[in-house]
Amino acid sequence: MSWKLKHKVYVLRLGHRPHRDLRITTHVGLVARAFGADGIILEEHVEKNTIQSILEVIENWGGPFEVKATGSPISFIKAWKRENGIVVHLTMYGVNIQSSDVIQRILEENKDILVVVGGKKVPGIVYELADYNVAIGNQPHSEVAALAVFLDRLFRGEELLREFENAKIKVIPSPRGKKVVRV
C-alpha cells in the first residue's frame, strides 16, 4: 500500500472551547496534516489565530492540506454520510483498536473517511451517526494522541515518510543536532 489511500481522509474537530482549546485544536490540525489526512474541518467559532497557525505550517512546511469550517458539525456529518463517506468517531468508549479488525474493515469499505475527534462532552447523536466508534485504549486520553495513533494505523506508518509539496522548510534527518534547510 502506498502511504496515500484511494479515498480522502478528513478530520472533524468537535467541541472547541474558545480561548481554552487554542493549542489543542491547533495540535489536532498539525497531527492530521503530518499523519496523512487531507484536511481538517473546524467549527466556525474557532479563533482566527488558531486557523492561521495551521495555515502557516502548510505555507512553510508544505501540503496539500485543507482547512475548512462548518457552522453545524452534526449537519456536516450527516452530509458526509449522504455523499457515501464513512464516519469514524474516536472515543474511549468504542471498540478497542488493538483488539479488533476495525482498521481492516474501514479500509475494505473503500470510501472517503471522516475522523471525528471531540474535546468536551460529545453529543450522543455522534455515537449514533458514526459507522465506527473506535477507542485507542479504553482509558481517558488526549484527542491529539488518539488521532495520531489512529492515522498511523490507518496508513500503516507509511505516512511518516511522506514528502510534502511546495515546502519552504525541510528537516534533514540527523542523529545529532538540528539540520533545517530552506528550499
pLDDT in tens, the chain (183 residues): 455 678 999 999 998 766 677 788 999 999 999 999 999 999 988 788 899 999 999 999 999 999 999 999 999 999 999 999 999 999 999 999 998 899 999 999 999 999 999 977 899 999 999 999 999 988 888 999 999 999 999 999 999 999 999 999 999 999 999 999 998
Residue 146: which of 3, 4, 11, 46 has the closest Cα? 11
DSSP 61-96: H-B--EEEEES-HHHHHHHHHHTT-EEEEEEEEEEE
The model's pTM is 0.94
**Burial class of residue 161, CB neighbours in 10 A (0-12, 13-18, 19+):** exposed
Task: List the domains of the chain with CATH numbers.
Answer: 9-182 (3.40.1280.10)
